[in-house]
Amino acid sequence: MDAAAKTRFEIMSRIQRGGVRYIELQFTDVEGMVKDIVIPAQEIDESLVKGIWFDGSSIEGFARVAESDMYLVPDPSTFAVLPWQKGAEATARLICDVYTPDGQSFGGDPRAALRRATGEAAKMGLAFATGPEMEFFLLRPGVDGALVPPAPHDDAGYFDAPSEAVAELGRQMISALAAIGIDVEAMHHEVAGGQYEIDFRDSGAFATADNIVTFRVALKAIAKLNGFYGTFMPKPMAGMSGSGMHVHQGMRYAANGRDAFHDSGDPHGLSSLAKHFIAGQLAHARGACAILAPLVNSYKRLFAGYEAPVHISWARINRAALIRVPRAIETGNTRVELRCPDPSCNPYLAFAVMLSAGLDGIRRELPLAEANEENPYATQLPGYSSNEMLPISLNAAIDALEDDEVVCETLGPYIARRFIEAKRLEWEESHREVTSWELEKYLGRY
């Protein structure tokens, strides 16, 4: 029995042991929304061998009618039984790669973009790891199920003990993720009412991106079972902290597993490679921002005064910096924390552009400016230009993306074009909207 046949046999055995009746074949579109095709469990063996055909043109912004025929190839390593789907609805999932009829990787597949980026790191002898801190809100739907206006389920604060209902939800969530193979370090209440954070243990960037996609599905499903609504919208309520996705990044030498970011002789504990990596991310921060913070609403969070980064700087202690280097608890575990991503991003594209930006800094040996431990929330700090601040809107972020060759090359022409088209349309739609703020501000005065 060859390795592929053995893998299929193991999956079939797990399906039988778990009483699984359905399989969700999942993938994401350019914007990171999970799509799936559900098949009966007995069809899985053929799907693993041949893949399964679907019409890509039916997915908004995914493919033109002229190139609609595609097929999904399940990644056997992602097989997992979904703990929240039990009994007669017992379901497992496989995350898939997308291919064209001629057997080529589809240019619009976000997983392929990340695979290319990690492949470039491998050519340089490096292995990239990420550990995200995912923030989200738990809301109480209205009696009719309405979510507007959003109603946080509590008014607790940072690290406050949750209600028993939320504590139970947290236990269910951590248990469910563990059953799927996702390691959680901690879960706690965040600053705003109804806001929580769950921290993932560091893993390879590819596995972490898969885990984020799974977590977003899991949270919504388990929250609904407990009478809540879970949202990863970056800024659902004015005057309250928004939800970010701070990403801890690590780099190791593939040959020996040694921490490539650590140098005990440096005042900050950073190797020259780490400094070039940080410099690369700072150099491409504006161009990458639309990928890392991809919604009109994202830029309501990236605003001075709510602990979200605004200025393009790095620091050791200053949590307002775009990039922070936490002090390593143990030797050989140096991390570089990027603080502008939010949990609405497509994690495959986010990690791809983060990695490519850092690798560009390494290749060009970009110099790193001194750490800025001053408070950058004062928007009139001397010496800061608009080029040293993150974009103030999605429209400005798209402009910066279009001007950044490294980011566009990382995405590939297909994803770059489709992403820009979708986000320009999103911006134009929001720009035409008359908001409640405008009505309250102007209607009675003019």
Each residue's pLDDT tens digit, 288-334: 999 999 999 999 999 876 677 888 999 987 777 899 998 765 667 89
pLDDT at 7 (0 to 100): 84
Count of CB atoms within 10 A of residue 366's CB?
18
pLDDT at 403 (0 to 100): 97
pLDDT at 303 (0 to 100): 80
Residue 387 has pLDDT above 70, yes or no: no
Most confident of 63-77, 82-96, 308-322: 82-96
Rg (CA), the chain: 22
Span 120-135, average pLDDT: 96
Q: What is the mean pLDDT of the chain?
A: 88
Fold: same for 3-106 and 115-441? no
Residue 259 has pLDDT above 90, yes or no: yes
Query: In which band, very low, low, confident or very high, does the pLDDT at 375 lie, cut at 50, 70 and 90?
Result: low
Q: Tokens 């700090």: give the residue.
A: 381
Q: How many residues does the chain have?
A: 446
Q: Tokens 């402009």: give the residue.
A: 399
For 49-107, strand residue ranges (E) read 52-55, 69-74, 80-81, 91-99
Span 265-294, average pLDDT: 95
Q: Three-class SS of residue 413?
A: helix
pLDDT at 186 (0 to 100): 84
What pTM, to 2 d.p., does this model score? 0.93
Question: Strands 323-324, 314-315: parallel, antiparallel or unpaired by DSSP?
Answer: parallel
**Distances in Å between the alpha carbon of 22 and those of 83, 185, 225?**
13, 30, 20
Residue 68 has pLDDT above 70, yes or no: no
Span 260-287, average pLDDT: 94
Query: In which band, very low, low, confident or very high, does the pLDDT at 63 lie, cut at 50, 70 and 90?
Result: low
Digit-coded pLDDT (tens) for 212-222? 999 999 999 99
Q: How far apart are CA 446 and CA 428, in angstroms?
A: 25
Residue 270 has pLDDT above 90, yes or no: yes
Find all residues with CB under 8 Å of 88, minimum gap 6, and list them.
21
Question: Strands 184-189, 195-200: parallel, antiparallel or unpaired by DSSP?
Answer: antiparallel
Q: Any idea what DSSP says for residue 320?
A: T
Q: Which two tokens stand for residue 42?
A: 């007995």
Q: Is the dihedral of CA 279, 323, 246, 298 positive or negative?
A: negative
Query: In which band, very low, low, confident or very high, does the pLDDT at 73 lie, cut at 50, 70 and 90?
Result: very high
pLDDT at 127 (0 to 100): 97
CA atoms in the 13 A half-sphere facing the CB of 219: 23
Output b/e per residue, 4-23; b: 16+ Cβ within 10 A: eeeebeebbeebeebebbbb
For residue 129, which of 209, 232, 189, 45 has the smallest C-alpha distance?
209
For residue 261, which of 361, 186, 182 has the smallest C-alpha distance?
361
Residue 81 has pLDDT above 60, yes or no: yes
Residue 361 has pLDDT above 90, yes or no: yes
pLDDT at 147 (0 to 100): 83
Residue 54 has pLDDT above 60, yes or no: yes
Q: Which two tokens stand for residue 165?
A: 């209902």
Digit-coded pLDDT (tens) for 153-198? 777 667 677 777 777 888 888 888 888 888 888 888 888 888 889 9
Residue 299 belongs to what H/E stretch? helix 298-301
Q: How far apart are CA 240 and CA 155, in angstroms?
A: 11
Contact between 322 and 260 (Cβ < 8 Å): no
Kindly report the backbone phi and psi dihedral angles of residue 109, in degrees, each rounded to the nearest multiple of 5, phi listed first: -85, 115
pLDDT at 301 (0 to 100): 93
User: Which CATH architecture best describes the domain 115-441?
Assistant: 2-Layer Sandwich (3.30)
Span 373-390, average pLDDT: 60
Q: Which two tokens stand for residue 119?
A: 């492949």
Q: Which two tokens stand for residue 348?
A: 């495959």
Of 152-166, 198-212, 273-287, minimum mean pLDDT range: 152-166
Q: How far apart are CA 130 and CA 119, in angstroms?
A: 16
Query: In which band, very low, low, confident or very high, does the pLDDT at 358 lie, cut at 50, 70 and 90?
Result: very high
Q: Tokens 């596995």: give the residue.
A: 207
Domain residues of the chain, as ranges?
Answer: 3-106, 115-441
Residue 25 belongs to what H/E stretch? strand 22-28
Q: Which CATH number fits domain 3-106: 3.50.50.60, 3.30.565.10, 3.10.20.70, 3.40.50.620?
A: 3.10.20.70
Query: In which band, very low, low, confident or very high, does the pLDDT at 66 lie, cut at 50, 70 and 90?
Result: very low
Residue 62 has pLDDT above 50, yes or no: yes
Q: How far apart are CA 24 and CA 52, in angstroms?
A: 12
pLDDT at 61 (0 to 100): 54
Of 18-27, 83-92, 250-259, 402-411, minimum mean pLDDT range: 83-92
Query: In which band, very low, low, confident or very high, does the pLDDT at 382 lie, cut at 50, 70 and 90?
Result: very low
pLDDT at 151 (0 to 100): 74
Of 38-42, 284-288, 380-384, minimum mean pLDDT range: 380-384
